[in-house]
Amino acid sequence: MADNTNSANQTQKKQFYKKKHREQMKHQVITFAMMIAFTMLAFGLVMAEVDAMFTVPIILVLAAVQVLFQLYYFMHMAEEGHEWPAAMIYSGVFAAVLTILALTIIVWW
Amino acid sequence: MAEDVLKSGNLPENPERATLEGRNKFMGFWFFLGGEVVLFASLFGTYLALRNSTVDGPTGQEIFGLGLVFLMTVILLTSSLTSVYAMYHMKNNDFKKMQLWLGITVLLGFAFLGLEIYEFVHYVNDYGFGFSTSAFSTAFYTLVGFHGAHVAFGLLWIISLMIRNRKRGLNLYNAPKFYIASLYWHFIDVVWVFIFTVVYLMGKVG
Amino acid sequence: MSTTAENKAGFGSVLWDYLTTVDHKKIAILYLIGGLFFFILGGLQAMLIRIQLIAPDNEFISAQFYNEVLTMHGTTMIFLAAMPLIFALMNAVLPLQIGARDVAFPFINSLGFWLFFFGGIFLNVSWFAGGAPDVGWTAYAPLSLFSESHGVDYYAIGLQIAGFGTLMGGINFIVTVVNMRAPGMTYMRMPLFTWTSFIASVLILFAFPALTVGLFLLTFDRLFGGNFFDPEMGGNVIIWEHLFWIFGHPEVYILILPAFGVFSEIIPTFSKKRLFGYSSMVFATILIAFLGFMVWAHHMFTVGLGPIANSIFAVATMAIAVPTGIKIFNWLFTMWGGNIRLTSPMVIALGFVPTFTIGGMTGVMLASAAADFQYHDTYFVVAHFHYVIVGGTVLGIFAGIIYWWPKMFGTMLNEKLNHWFFWLFFIGFHLTFFFQHFLGLMGMPRRYWKFLPDQGLDLFNLISTIGAFGMAIGTIIFLVNVVMTQMKGEKVSGDPWDARTLEWAIPSPPPFYNFKQEPLVRGLDALWVEKMQGNGKIQPAEPLGDIHMPNRTFVPFVISLGLFIAGFGVMYQGAMWILAGIGFATTFGAMLYRSLKDDIGYHVHKEELEEEGDGSNG
């Protein structure tokens, strides 16, 4: 009897998770479509030879957004249990930004 | 108790974090990726510092072919989605489908790597753009090559996981391994997004 | 598995035990032996330098050999002595302080040690293979490109191998702290040594990749025709300096923070007071780490970055004095009104505070970009960084070794000899380096083989060399003490210092599973809480049960050995490529073996544990 309710519970739980996963998967497919769209936009801007002053910032922002999509949707960084991973990734980004700024700006001075 | 982790079937939600070993692997690998961010930042910084140091060699504007790069980008982005599908089936405890999607991921990875090798050979043969041609060429091959080496390592990793576990299905011991391999694969994609933007697109814009 | 059985075992089985161990306490001993070995080696090199500079125009060693000795002294002391000794303390103490049975990745812990070991050996093979690196421990390009022997290649590849090991060790400790704390051990109850080691590990994670890349670029330039640092081909030598110091400056905080942690354990214990301003100490540690990442260019003020960049980095550097000052005052306030016992670790702590403060003050002087043009590359800089590294890190390491010696080995170093060691070392240290401040201000450049007579430099150089002998004799006394103590083998109790933190709640040396039952932590200074409010014993958080332990393994040794062999192939190329093939095949083969073979560990059963008493000391 107890076993019965237990297994019934289990199937219910499984159903619930399955649904949750399907929901997630839908988001991920949408994310993917947007990433492809962003990529096409970036390549399109460059191929159309739009002014560099305009293109470069835009494609950098598009890249940053794509990366956030990867991190948050594909790698689930927003889910519970990801507080430390997120903290470490952002610390890495902090060190990375300083490194890149230094090497691009003050190396040739 | 110890042997339980090798039993397949009936896994909890988030099997990759169900055991302490799994949680450790999961955390440790994320932290490693944090370090990888700095590793690639150092390479990107070096590349950006040297991107105009072409001396007598060809410039990026002259040699980069955006068609090929676009194809490579789409392939790698798609492989990221297929590895998401693999993890989706892992969470639903469907080992067969997980293996199938991982297989597709690997095929796409090989396609990407093949195109990259073709690209490099093409640069060397048709433009005389070798590793030692200029500071720019050295920085270019080092940055893109590091990424390529990461792809190659990821492929070997995923393949060996697939072969090792082909007969025994998913369990609490190998679920974390599959999961972090897929994290690694996404990270490769993250790096590539910046490579196609910073190296190829910005190189073409000039 | 009892300790008596191990004592009777032959040399071969003990060796095999240590070659394959994944126990963090044994890895700590390996790090300790490796670190002390290289510390002695680096110390001998330091003596050669000081003997060469004892008198003007001296011809004791040749100019080329002087360059090699000086380079290897710096490289050895930083990478092969200070780092592993700090890892020795972390391995020995950190898991015990948080109530963990093991580290998060026992396998990777062992791999980290063997990579360090083989990297260090690789670097030192250069002495016998045509000359050690001779371009300074910073290996600035383009000098490092022009160095003709293979010395710099040994430097680049050896540090690369050792650096991988350090990175792995760092990740291991971060995850250990995040995932393996005992019930009740919240972040704000962690002992300060654990906190500082944790933050230092985070710094390792973000600093070492920059070194990895820098060393790769150097290797590519020297061995594979790269052009990163070759101005003729469009390269830029400043890139190396940036990458090196983006790593190098956090590195000095990696070295000093755990030493801060050691003193933050010792001072409360021997003042019989809780640490003053615990949360401000934690906050200051994090702030130092954060600021530590944006100050690296203060090593490069004279490069010509321009006034804006120089000012930014100068201000950021001076800001670090604030959290460091917070720490100094907290230590003083901990002692204030305390019931101070002048044991040797405490005396070292008392010596450390003013010494480090002097080093910090010269640091602020150097941070002033305009003044730095005067100090740059003189003995003033040498004096400064020896005051912080020897006066801070090395004193911290020795204090830590003496303090935790009973926990690691179950014996107690002779207190009398400890005091002799400290006073000789300490007075010798100040004689050696205090006068170097003035040598620097007089304009004596660092790294020079000779100085000329009658320029007012003779006396201070002589005093400096005499001081160095004091440090050497002090170190010898310490080593004698170690040997005598271990020969006598007198056992002490688990808590010989009447200390405050969790590691003292279990026997010395601890059983291989550390805690028989997971401890329940009821406050900061967990053991002290029980001493004051309970029966002096830590309450268990779980009933006695089976303990899961990792299997021993030889694979980390093989992986590291493979890279060691491959290094020679990559360097000598030609027919030697075959070595690279063999080496990489060994490494990747071993990695594949590791990844394919199930390793789920084993269990120590409840029944065995019951036979061994209650697991507390007493």
- What's the CATH number where C248 sits? 1.20.210.10
Asked if the structure places residue C524 within a domain, the reply is yes
Q: Contact, C244 vs C209, CB < 8 A?
A: no
Which pLDDT band, with edges at 50, 70 and 90, does A3 fall under?
Answer: low
Q: Is A71 on the interface with B (CB under 8 A)?
A: yes
* pLDDT above 50: residue B150: yes
Helix (H) or strand (E) holding C521: none
Instruction: Provide mean pLDDT across the span C363-388.
Output: 96
Same-domain check for residues A92 and A73: no
Which pLDDT band, with edges at 50, 70 and 90, does A6 fall under?
Answer: low
Is C233's CB within 8 Å of B53's CB?
yes
Give residue B8's pLDDT: 77
Which pLDDT band, with edges at 50, 70 and 90, does C386 fall under?
Answer: very high
Domain count, chain A: 2
Asked if the structure places residue C578 within a domain, the reply is no
What is the percentage of chain C residues whose pLDDT exceeds 70?
Answer: 97
Smallest Cβ distance to C212: which of B39, B45, B50? B39
* pLDDT above 90: residue A23: no
Which pLDDT band, with edges at 50, 70 and 90, does C568 fall under?
Answer: very high
Neighbouring chains of C at 3+ CB pairs under 8 Å are A, B
Provide the token pair at C202: 């985070």
DSSP SS3 for C411: strand
- Domain hosting residue A107, numbered range: 79-109
**Distance (Å, whole) CA C160 – CA B3:** 38
Instruction: Provide mean pLDDT across the span C500-529.
Output: 93
Instruction: Provide mean pLDDT across the span C55-72.
Output: 96
Give residue A13's pLDDT: 79
Smallest Cβ distance to A21: which of B33, B77, B88? B88
Same-domain check for residues A72 and A87: no
**Distance (Å, whole) CA A79 – CA B37:** 21
Smallest Cβ distance to B131: which of C167, C226, C246? C226
Is C246's CB within 8 Å of A99's CB?
yes
Top-confidence residue, C558 or A49: C558
Asked if the structure places residue C485 within a domain, the reply is yes
Give residue C257's pLDDT: 97
Same-domain check for residues A13 and A40: yes
Which pLDDT band, with edges at 50, 70 and 90, does C3 fall under?
Answer: very low
The strand ranges marked E within C477-557 are 547-549
Strands C547-549, C602-604: parallel, antiparallel or unpaired by DSSP? antiparallel
- Domain hosting residue C194, numbered range: 20-553+599-610
Q: Is C286 on the interface with A (CB under 8 A)?
A: no
Give residue A109's pLDDT: 66
Give residue C599's pLDDT: 85
For the segment(s) B17-47+64-205, the CATH number from 3.40.50.2000, 1.20.120.80, 3.60.20.10, 1.10.287.110 is 1.20.120.80
Give residue B2's pLDDT: 53
Same-domain check for residues A11 and A47: yes
Q: DSSP 3-state helix, strand, coil percentages of chain A (rounded to 5)?
A: 85, 0, 15
Q: Which of A22-31, B151-160, C203-212, C471-480 has the lowest mean pLDDT?
A: A22-31
Give residue B1's pLDDT: 43
Q: Which residues of A touch C305 (CB under 8 A)?
A: 106, 109
Is C216's CB within 8 Å of B142's CB?
yes
Q: Is B74 on the interface with A (CB under 8 A)?
A: yes
Same-domain check for residues A62 and A50: yes
Q: What is the mean pLDDT of chain C?
A: 94
Question: In Å, what is the CA distance from A93 to each residue of B35, B40, C582?
Answer: 9, 10, 37
Q: Is C293 on the interface with A (CB under 8 A)?
A: yes
Q: What is the ipTM of this complex?
A: 0.95
Residues C69-99 have pLDDT tens digits of 999 999 999 999 999 999 999 999 999 999 9
Which pLDDT band, with edges at 50, 70 and 90, does C1 fall under?
Answer: very low
Q: Which residues of A touch C206 (CB under 8 A)?
A: 91-92, 95
Residues C127-160 have pLDDT tens digits of 999 899 999 999 999 999 999 899 999 999 999 9
Domain count, chain C: 1
Q: Is C234 on the interface with A (CB under 8 A)?
A: no
Instruction: For residue C315, give every residue at least 6 positions away whose Cβ sits within 8 Å of its Cβ, in sequence order, or none.
Output: none
Same-domain check for residues A46 and A15: yes
Residues B9-46 have pLDDT tens digits of 778 888 888 899 999 999 999 999 999 999 999 999 99
Q: Which residues of C touch B6 (CB under 8 A)?
A: 598, 600
Same-domain check for residues A60 and A107: no
Give residue C450's pLDDT: 94
- Residue B1 has a CB neighbour count (10 Å cut-off) of 9
**What pairs with residue C604 in β-bridges?**
C547
Q: Is C167 on the interface with A (CB under 8 A)?
A: no
Give residue C614's pLDDT: 57
Q: Is B13 on the interface with A (CB under 8 A)?
A: yes
Same-domain check for residues A65 and A41: yes
Size of interface B-C (CB pairs under 8 A): 127
Which pLDDT band, with edges at 50, 70 and 90, does B206 fall under?
Answer: confident
Give residue C611's pLDDT: 75
Q: Which residues of A touch B33 (CB under 8 A)?
A: 85, 88-89, 92
* pLDDT above 50: residue C525: yes
**Helix axis angle, A83-105 to C192-223, nearest 10°:** 40
